[in-house]
Structure 1
Amino acid sequence: MAEAPSGERPPSWATIYDAPPPVKYPYDPAEALGDLPGVHYALEQFLASHMVESEEYCHKSDEKKERLYFATGYGLIQCVKGLMSYADEDLLSAINHTRHGNLVASQHRKKAGLIGSILGSAGLSSHTQFIKSMTDVERHAELVYAESLFEKALLGIVYSGDWLAFIKEALNMRTTITIYRQLGAFLDEADAAYAASLQNGGETTTTTPPPPPPPTPAAAKSPNASSRPPRRTEDPRIDAHFRSGVYLGVGMCNIILSLMPGKLQTLVELFGYRGERRVGLEMLMRAGGWDSASDSGRQDQDAGVVEAAEEGVRRTICDMALLIFHLVLSSFTVEGVDVGVAGRILEWNLKRYPNGVSFSLSSSSSLFPHSPPPSPSSLLPPLPSLPPPPPPPPFPPSRKALTHPHPHTGVFFLFGAGRLALHRSQPRQAIRYYTQAMASQVQYRNLDHVSFWEVAVARLALWEVGARVPGGDVVVLKGQGRGKGRGKGKGEEGKGKEGEKEGGEGGGGEVEEVVGGSAMCWRVLEREATWSKSIYSYGLAACLLEDWPTDDLASPEGRKRKEERMDEARGLMARVPVVRQKIAGKSIPLEKFVARKARKFAAQGNRLLLPALEVAYVFQAIAHAPRAVLVGKMLPLVRRALARLAMYGEGTGVSAAQVSVSVNGNGHGEEGSVPPTPTTPYTPATPFTPSTPAPPKSAASLASGWRIGAVMGRASRGAKAAQGAGKLGVERYEGGAGEYWDDLCLARFLEGVCLRYVAYPDPDAVPDPEEKIEEGMDVPQEEAARGAEEALRAVFAYGPKIELDHHLVYHAHYELGRLLACQGDFEGAKAEYELVLSGKTLEVGPSGRKGKYSMENALHIRTHAALDALQSASGQNKHRA
């Protein structure tokens, strides 16, 4: 436990354990809550990056897997491992252990009568009287039963991959929701009765006898317990551990139901289920006291926060659920998002988990003073035997704690800190957090894959697509091995061949890994991770197809390396459609998208336009890119693509006179024919206002709009140039006219998106004071907004000529709605959103009028969220619409 100077309060986040809590043997189900301190300690160890020690402690504390909390806690760890690895054997092991934990919880539950059970499961009874009649252990068992049932259902959906299994597990989800609702109603009723008793002069209005509180070790008692006033009127006879579990379950159920699409929400409401997002967030915040904690502007930011010594065992999981909502799910929803709350939660938990205290597990006597007898007495029926737990996947040899050469920071909250930095458009800072997360733990390689995914996206936000990055972040690990793929990481073009040899399969010595550019991160994921080989392969291929700063096409060696890179990209693209997966019998939308792009790559003669920048849009890297990257790297890249398109046809907004090109026998321009980006001062052309109607579908009207000289290198054109005079003709473009219009609309769409974020950065963005933009390259807000609208409307004008990428039209309407909302034109934004949700085919040709377009469901979710933000009564989220 953290020591505080005499007379001073210890910090609210100070750990309450200075030794592992003892475990009592033999096990008595009536005293099941005596294991709560041990489970609390195991959770602290897990979150402090001592995952293996936590798992081993749970296993040794209950080798027979008969204890309520240890059996289900061990099953939860297996669930996390299975979802991280996504390997069949890990998922199957997790299913077996969660099923066993569910059985243990069921044996601890109070048995209901047949009629009461039917009415309760059907939601036809409040069931609170039955819960009141339970003992404290039985109420905890009811809670744990719902939790383990949810885990089992989730694993079953992921593992089975068929629709029938999804229906079966959905029924289990329904049972879980029903139990949580009943427990939540009981808690509300108990608190209301206690509050009424206080108003009646202290006479209790409830008939429930006060249950004894869960045992707590002496070291866990808070010196501030009597000094801090209660935050709200709560029945003190209900322990904090039970409360935190109910808050977690009721809160998550409300949030999950509120995130469902409108049609599905209507369906579940027929069964009596409705999700209130505000209620869900309030319940999750209540577990940690964040609903009454001071805001970031107050001096004492810990005021009102539940101290670690007084928290419920599930409080930290509630905190993590809030972080996931505010920092991850906020990519698809708006209402209720508060990045400031996420920042306060992260700040507190990063103080709590800077270096967890770990204890050697080499001797069981220090942890288990009362060795379990050969045949412990038990009031429970015998449980089926389980196979021994599988060894952790490529973990290093077990280490002895207290001798670790560097502190272990909580890896999960470092993930949150990285997401927060990315939300603030600080990808460089985010990469530092993710590399620190890699160095903070050496036990679960799958957790490193989370960091590599996030770094891959952050590198795209910095437009560092190559394998190597000058001054790249280095992770140095001393005294620990990391398994295959670890090492110096300096193989040819970032392949890490030398790294694999030096890293070996784990061991001692100093191990170093360089976290390079986006391509390097995708390569690690494609080689090691198992979540989505399809997406990893496409992400790597897209980066390989881009030009790298290290390319030296003037030398034979440089040309050879680039050709080898292109060959590798072709092989990866061929794999993308083959390695797709399914969940609940349904294809993953993002995998369907990359598979379509891979097929398009092959159909176009192994060619795609701006593939990595399109990936950056899909993963919202453009949204979080610093302004200097947008105007200095991304927009010039788009300009070069438009300049090449301008040689063949209309609609690019780039003067054909700027392009000097020799044409080969196939009508293709030679490499290097596009001039470098000019740095002439910015010059607007014809006045343009947001209220200007959409231009007609003619190139002449599109070409007469606004120009950016500094960034896009545009010049005014005469009528002949606008009509296509001096062009090579779209039929001579690469694969013909069809490819031209697809590429044109993609380039104009990406141009519009980049300019929109130049004009209106993400509302949570925090500009870097050290960020420098080259003189003459910046774009004023008003002109960037005009250019964004012109580019997006160009997609509408030429959308009917698109052959494959019809989704660009619908995404362009969504992005135009975002732009209009930022400008305060809420009615115009609403009209664009309603077009996306209308189900109409909009500005697409005959080939786009059948079936779904790519990423349709994801776009509808984001559009619904933006529309809800516009219609918010408070109006506080309209800037996020």
Structure 2
Amino acid sequence: MAHVSNGSPAEEEDCFEDAFDRIPAACQMDLRTAIQETQCALNLVLNNRFSEALDLLKPWSKDSMYHALGYSSILVMQATMTFEQRDIQAAMTTIKEALNTCQRFRKRNSMVGSLLSKQSNLQEEEMHAELCYAECLLQKATLTFVQDENMISFIKGGIKIRTSHQIYKDCQNVLSSNHVDGQSDAFRQFEGGVKLGVGSFNLMLSLLPQRILRLLEFIGFSGNRRFGLSQLREGAANQSLRSILCALTLLFYNTYVSLILGTGEGNLEEAEALLEPYQNKYPKGSLILFYSARILTLRGQLEKAVSRFEECIRSQSEWRQIHHLCYWELMWTHSFQQEWVEAYHYAQLLCAESRWSKAIYVYQKAAILSMMSEEEAKKTGENIVELFRQVEGLKQRLAGKSIPTEKFAVRKSRRYKATNPVPLVLPALEMMYVWNGFTIVGKRADFTEALLVTIEKAEEKLREDPNPSEYHPDDSCLVQMLKGLCLKHLGRPLQAELCFTQVISSERRIRYDHYLVPFTLYELGLLHKQQGDFARAASYIENAKTNYKDYSMESRLHFRIHAALNSLKGSPVSTP
């Protein structure tokens, strides 16, 4: 908050942590005061008082780099969650102003690459200005990707990311030099910001498949996962303004990234330890409740997770976007339990309220309706065929390209364009797999057994079909892959392997769903890894990586393959 006290340690501590009710206006704004006020704004955000946080930051947003950064950060977060054009435009205007504010505090004539040579005489404000400028550039790059469809905007965003990356590298050199006072509070705050930026970049880049990473390394990017995680962990522990941002980055990595783009082996013990102090400090904070519920989901404690997500929704009403995140999670937690009526309810809310991806929401709603009994589906008043037919017209584009999950949904829904459409088989379970949901269901034998029963009913129906359609081989292979996943999680590896090998041996019969074979090879590799046969595991995963291309969700599988091969390194038999 504003620096209006007499400076006693106890008074500062109260101001720093607990002053949420009344924020006096500052009469001056030095670096220390700016950081304190921004911390108070962050506390307000974490206590669901978003408007008050903006009101605190706005008066000084054109005169203080930290107020500018904090103000733009909140608006950027809102814009990326709403996808509303007016929110995106307001955030873009604010971020440009924030960059101008930060620029005024940077060393005169500062240029990327020249900072290192000037490190010996950088002042505190100039050090922090470089840091805030780099963060603002990242925000602008994010908005550039969201705002526009054309490739020029995509390239512009990439250039901003590269500039930001270089500034962080230079800041890290400043950090390790002998020319700065490592004991001051300003240095500790600077250190926290560098660890957030360097750690996030290294972690993000390390997730990329090797072929992409090699190209990026050629133009100056580098990514070391172990180093990135260590920087973020140190940043989370150093009690700076950005400590919770480091913690939230680690939480996002452990609860989402490692599941969707990895093998599903997030560090839940670390996630719980990171979250615990903030649960005590912000017990009703919606972001904290959300991650708490997500961890319960990943633990397989789905009933508790549903209750916690509902509590998160009740905790605030100012930002409906957080409700939408909860609706998405509730749709899946109910789907994992095959509570299709409840899952439909949240899919319907997402269709009605959220602008993130109408194509995915409508496809998901239709897929869930397909899993219901005829009587249940009829009660909703929805026409499943018409819903699937809407999907293609709702597709969005980013940087001139379609979003992979939307392309997948569009391609699958084309079966309904025919006069006599051939219904999809288990479409909700197929999408569950796309989002790696079977690793969650697999934590619960009861729900996995129930899914297996549903899958075996579909298997029997296909087997007894008197007039198999052109999609029959594809549908049969999908069912076998899903069945194999359930059997793997139920500890029946030999039966699971039989299902997976049946898909692979049917490769030449598959006409449309060519993604099934490389994904099944990957799953067969994970099955052998689970059994300790690392050589065979690496062989199957490398086969999926090397011998298949131009199939649905290819990039997503390559992310997962990269994570799987990394996890095999250091095993008794290394990957090739």
**TM-score after normalising by structure 2:** 0.92
Residue aligning to 2:290? 415
Alpha-carbon distance, 1:252 to partner: 0.9
Q: Is the 8 A contact 1:98 1:151 kept in 2?
A: yes
Q: In the superposition, relative to structure 1, how do residues 605 and 70 fare at CA in structure 2: closer, same or farther (>3 Å)? A: same
Q: In the superposition, relative to structure 1, how do residues 426 and 874 fare at CA in structure 2: closer, same or farther (>3 Å)? A: farther
Distance, in Å, in 1 between the alignment partners of 2:269 and 2:49 is: 29
Distance, in Å, in 2 between the alignment partners of 1:414 and 1:237 is: 30
Partner AA of 2:402 in structure 1 = S
Matches within 5 A, 1:629-778: 629-631=447-449, 633-648=450-465, 728=466, 732-733=467-468, 736=469, 738-759=470-491
* Segment of structure 1 superposing worse, 527-536 or 811-820: 811-820
1:97 aligns with 2:94: yes
1:261 aligns with 2:262: no
Distance, in Å, in 2 between the alignment partners of 1:437 and 1:874 is: 45
Matches within 5 A, 1:250-329: 250-289=198-237, 306=238, 311-329=239-257
Deviations 1:37-96 (A, max 9, x none): 11110001101111122122222x33x733222122111111011011011111111011
Alpha-carbon distance, 1:872 to partner: 3.4
**Which of 1 and 2 has greater Rg?**
1
1:611 aligns with 2:427: yes
Deviations 1:428-466 (A, max 9, x none): 222122111111111100110000001111111111112
Distance, in Å, in 1 between the alignment partners of 2:67 and 2:40 is: 11
Q: Is the 8 A contact 1:255 1:276 kept in 2?
A: yes
Distance, in Å, in 1 between the alignment partners of 2:356 and 2:276 is: 30
Partner AA of 2:161 in structure 1 = M
Q: Is the 8 A contact 2:207 2:562 kept in 1?
A: no
Residue aligning to 1:439? 314
Residue aligning to 1:351? 280
Match of 2:85 among 85, 88, 91: 88
SS of the residue aligned with 2:208?
Answer: coil
Alpha-carbon distance, 1:339 to partner: 2.1
Residue aligning to 1:196? none
Alignment: residue pair count:
560
Match of 2:173 among 177, 181, 185: 185
Distance, in Å, in 2 between the alignment partners of 1:874 and 1:794 is: 29
Distance, in Å, in 2 between the alignment partners of 1:13 and 1:421 is: 33
1:34 aligns with 2:33: yes
Distance, in Å, in 2 between the alignment partners of 1:826 and 1:14 is: 55
Partner AA of 2:282 in structure 1 = Y
Partner AA of 2:390 in structure 1 = R
Distance, in Å, in 1 between the alignment partners of 2:381 and 2:498 is: 34
Q: Is the 8 A contact 2:534 2:572 kept in 1?
A: no
Alpha-carbon distance, 1:237 to partner: 6.7
Residue aligning to 1:404? none
Match of 1:801 among 504, 509, 512: 509
Deviations 1:270-294 (A, max 9, x none): 12321111111111111232xxxxx
Alpha-carbon distance, 1:162 to partner: 1.2
Partner AA of 1:856 in structure 2 = E
Matches within 5 A, 1:446-595: 446-466=321-341, 517-548=342-373, 558=375, 562-563=377-378, 568-595=383-410
SS of the residue aligned with 2:177?
Answer: helix
Q: Is the 8 A contact 2:16 2:36 kept in 1?
A: no
Name the structure with the higher helix share.
Answer: 2
Alpha-carbon distance, 1:17 to partner: 2.9
Alpha-carbon distance, 1:23 to partner: 3.7
Alpha-carbon distance, 1:99 to partner: 0.7
Q: Is the 8 A contact 2:344 2:365 kept in 1?
A: yes
Q: In the superposition, relative to structure 1, how do residues 425 and 132 fare at CA in structure 2: closer, same or farther (>3 Å)? A: same
Q: Is the 8 A contact 1:792 1:816 kept in 2?
A: yes
Deviations 1:380-436 (A, max 9, x none): xxxxxxxxxxxxxxxxxxxxxxxxxxxxx1111222112211221222222122111
Distance, in Å, in 1 between the alignment partners of 2:119 and 2:171 is: 8
Alpha-carbon distance, 1:645 to partner: 2.0
Q: In the superposition, relative to structure 1, how do residues 336 and 286 fare at CA in structure 2: closer, same or farther (>3 Å)? A: farther
Residue aligning to 1:856? 554
Alpha-carbon distance, 1:13 to partner: 12
Q: In the superposition, relative to structure 1, how do residues 139 and 21 fare at CA in structure 2: closer, same or farther (>3 Å)? A: farther
Distance, in Å, in 1 between the alignment partners of 2:437 and 2:337 is: 8
Distance, in Å, in 2 between the alignment partners of 1:137 and 1:32 is: 7
Matches within 5 A, 1:57-136: 57-59=56-58, 61-62=59-60, 65-112=62-109, 117=111, 121=112, 123=113, 127-136=115-124
Distance, in Å, in 1 between the alignment partners of 2:14 and 2:415 is: 53
Match of 1:787 among 473, 477, 495: 495
Partner AA of 1:627 in structure 2 = A
SS of the residue aligned with 2:383?
Answer: helix
Distance, in Å, in 1 between the alignment partners of 2:264 and 2:390 is: 39
Partner AA of 2:299 in structure 1 = R
Q: In the superposition, relative to structure 1, how do residues 840 and 537 fare at CA in structure 2: closer, same or farther (>3 Å)? A: closer
Deviations 1:167-195 (A, max 9, x none): 112111111111101111111223xxxxx
Q: In the superposition, relative to structure 1, how do residues 440 and 567 fare at CA in structure 2: closer, same or farther (>3 Å)? A: closer
Residue aligning to 2:4? none
1:148 aligns with 2:136: yes
Q: In the superposition, relative to structure 1, how do residues 874 and 419 fare at CA in structure 2: closer, same or farther (>3 Å)? A: farther
Q: C-alpha root-mean-square deviation of aligned residues, in Å? A: 2.5
Partner AA of 2:309 in structure 1 = Y
Structure 2 gaps of 5+ residues are 2-9
Residue aligning to 1:239? 187
Residue aligning to 1:691? none
SS of the residue aligned with 1:274?
Answer: coil
Distance, in Å, in 2 between the alignment partners of 1:316 and 1:347 is: 12
Alpha-carbon distance, 1:333 to partner: 2.8
Q: Is the 8 A contact 1:459 1:518 kept in 2?
A: yes
SS of the residue aligned with 2:233?
Answer: helix
Distance, in Å, in 2 between the alignment partners of 1:335 and 1:518 is: 23
Distance, in Å, in 2 between the alignment partners of 1:805 and 1:840 is: 13
Q: Is the 8 A contact 1:427 1:624 kept in 2?
A: no
Distance, in Å, in 1 between the alignment partners of 2:410 and 2:15 is: 49
Residue aligning to 1:867? 565
Partner AA of 2:39 in structure 1 = H
Q: In the superposition, relative to structure 1, how do residues 156 and 341 fare at CA in structure 2: closer, same or farther (>3 Å)? A: same
Residue aligning to 2:5? none
**TM-score after normalising by structure 1:** 0.61
Q: In the superposition, relative to structure 1, how do residues 153 and 825 fare at CA in structure 2: closer, same or farther (>3 Å)? A: same
Match of 1:25 among 6, 20, 27: 27
Distance, in Å, in 1 between the alignment partners of 2:330 and 2:570 is: 34
* Segment of structure 1 superposing worse, 425-434 or 823-832: 425-434
Distance, in Å, in 2 between the alignment partners of 1:26 and 1:235 is: 24
Q: Is the 8 A contact 1:630 1:754 kept in 2?
A: yes
Distance, in Å, in 2 between the alignment partners of 1:520 and 1:349 is: 31
Distance, in Å, in 1 between the alignment partners of 2:199 and 2:263 is: 17
SS of the residue aligned with 2:169?
Answer: helix
